[in-house]
Chain A
């Protein structure tokens, strides 16, 4: 089964796991299965109409799936998918609530 690396901001929705193994033959299917296994994660990955959110990038190995075959990118045993969300922190201060 492919492995999915979960970034820190989303680990609260995967019971704290930083890496999850989920079945799936394509990147899209694997992410869909991940969202089914952890329903709280769904709204953070997908828009209301089921499209992957544009501030969530998915990589297979070190390559953005947008530049492979997108959601149809094939994945197999041992492949590593990474979810890379945008994070803004830097100066971190009180005006952030």
Chain B
């Protein structure tokens, strides 16, 4: 039934299934493509998921239910309200708990036979190779470019397949990057986009169900690799569009000049991925630091004193509808053409959700000749936390 070499050797007596496990995996065991041998391979397999978030949730749940023997999870975050719309491994009662604990409890409830290995730290150039070494398949469910390149390079260097998934709004991508047999992520995208050019997740949003679709595809690919059945997404990029409900597949090729998996690789050890992705050490804060800032406390004080200061909100109208502090609304994208609406002599406090877009707006206004413009530090989120809790945080 195998169509390709399985990642796991036939366990032949090294792994046995209990009667409870045989009952549990009945629907697998009666399929010739899995059968007893395949189920033992799954039990022997070790899959590492990077992130217990949108993609990691359905992925870890299905791998556990399917009987993957060891599920490793790397995550250092805690469960937040805004996670629950899509991160289905965590529940309302888990709010504030480390995601690793919440994920472990849920997996153990679904299948107590699964060994859960947790890594409560950020994946880094220092720890990635050591963590990867012990696993058979790596599944990438991260949310940022530096970690994506790190996961790719560490997978190539340790010779592991990297089951890739990525999501944005209503659209997802999936592939299997396995340098032994096909292209890696760098063959597809040699360089990351400069920071700021691609809309961030906080600005972009994501349909809660989308990671379910893509994470489930990743879980399927991981199981196929373990069993050695079907045709994995090696050398193919799957594009999913939830709005048109279309799946497309693009051909990927191995780049002979690829710096990691090509014929003469120049990257032979892990590098500084923050630097590679053009992110200054202080991260997103750096851009915000370059513009004059005002804290929400200072702003409240100045309004209370009757100072002449107007507040400008540069978020989108649909965000304004969710939460606002009664400020004038000019979305960042419309600012250039609506500049005439603002008096250059006004003292302006500009805010968005958390301070990123408003920093860009302040920069733009300064370049347009405005003298007294301030970025509201922390945005409406900070206003909700520190000044007026009746303003919902979204």
Which residues of A come within 8 Å of B, CB atoms?
Answer: 7-9, 12, 18, 43-44, 53-55, 57, 59, 62-64, 67, 82, 84-94, 96-97
A9, A87, A92, A96: which has the most chain B beta carbons within 10 Å?
A: A92
Would A54 and B189 count as touching, CB distance under 8 A? yes
Collect the chain A residues with CB atoms within 8 Å of residue B284's CB. Answer: 97
Q: In B195-238, which residues have CB < 8 Å from any A CB?
A: 197-202, 204, 206, 211, 237
The answer on a CB contact under 8 Å between B201 and A67 is no
Chain A residues contacting B54 (CB-CB under 8 Å) are 89-92
Given contact pairs A82-B250, A88-B148, a sample of 13 additional A-B residue pairs in the complex whose CB atoms are under 8 Å apart: A9-B168, A53-B193, A91-B52, A91-B53, A91-B54, A91-B55, A92-B86, A93-B53, A93-B80, A94-B80, A97-B202, A97-B355, A97-B356
Determine the chain B residues whose CB is within 8 A of the CB of A84 once the complex forms.
173, 237, 239, 250
Most buried by B among A7, A64, A82, A90: A90
* B143 x A93 contact (CB < 8 A): yes
- B197, A44: Cβ atoms closer than 8 Å: yes
**A85 neighbours in B (Cβ, 8 Å):** 193, 198
B140 contacts A by Cβ under 8 Å: yes
Other-chain residue from B51, B144, B189, B193 in contact with A96 (beta carbon distance below 8 A): B144
Residues on A with C-beta less than 8 A from B38 are none
Query: Which chain A positions have C-beta within 8 A of B145?
Result: 86, 88
Q: Could you say which residues of chain A place their CB within 8 Å of the CB of B250?
A: 59, 62-64, 82, 84
In the complex, A7→B199 CA distance in Å? 12
Q: How many A-B residue pairs have CB under 8 A?
A: 129
Contact yes or no, B173 A87, CB < 8 A? yes
CA distance A96 to B217 in the complex (A): 25
Query: A82 CA to B250 CA in the complex, in Å?
Result: 10
The 21 sampled A-B contact pairs (Cβ below 8 Å) are A9-B168, A18-B244, A43-B197, A53-B193, A54-B190, A54-B191, A55-B189, A67-B251, A84-B237, A84-B239, A86-B145, A88-B143, A90-B55, A90-B143, A90-B211, A91-B53, A91-B55, A92-B167, A92-B201, A93-B77, A93-B83
By a CB distance below 8 angstroms, the chain B residues around A67 are 251, 253
Q: How far is the CA of A67 from the CA of B200 in the complex (A)?
A: 30
For the complex, give the distance between the alpha carbons of A93 and B87 in Å. Answer: 11
A16–chain B nearest beta-carbon distance, Å: 12
B contacts with A, residue count (CB < 8 A) = 57
**Complexed CA–CA distance, A97 and B381 (Å):** 12
Question: Are A62 and B249 in touch, CB under 8 angstroms?
Answer: yes
Looking at the complex, which one of B55, B170, B249 makes contact with A8 (CB distance below 8 Å)? B170
User: CA A92 – CA B51 in complex, angstroms?
Assistant: 10
Q: Do B168 and A87 touch across chains, with their CB atoms under 8 A apart?
A: yes
B118 CB–A CB distance under 8 Å = no
A61-B28 Cα distance, complex, nearest whole Å: 37
Which chain B residue lies CB-closest to A13? B333
Is B143 within 8 A of A96, CB to CB? Answer: yes
Q: Is the CB of A63 within 8 A of B251?
A: yes
Residues of A within 8 A of B55 (CB): 90-91
Residue pair B171, A7 in contact (C-beta under 8 Å): yes
Q: Which of B237-270 contact A (CB under 8 A)?
A: 237, 239, 243-244, 248-253
Task: Give min CB distance, A27 to chain B, whole Å.
Answer: 15
Contacting residues, chain A, for B249 (C-beta < 8 A): 62
Residues of A contacting B191 in the complex (Cβ-Cβ under 8 angstroms): 54-55
> Residue on B with the closest CB to A86?
B189
For B356, the chain A residues whose CB sits under 8 A away are: 97
Interface residues of B in 123-152 (CB under 8 A from A): 140-145, 148
- Given A55-B192, A91-B142, is A96 in contact with B168 using a C-beta cutoff of 8 Å? no
Residue of A nearest to B173 (CB): A87
Contacts of A96 in B (CB 8 A): 143-144, 200-202
B390 at the interface (CB under 8 A from A): no
Min CB gap B176→A, angstroms: 16
| A64 and B252 contacting across the interface, CB-CB below 8 Å | yes
Instruction: Please tell me if B169 contacts chain A, counting CB pairs below 8 Å.
Output: yes
B165 within 8 A of A: yes
What's the minimum C-beta distance from A80 to chain B, rounded to whole angstroms? 10
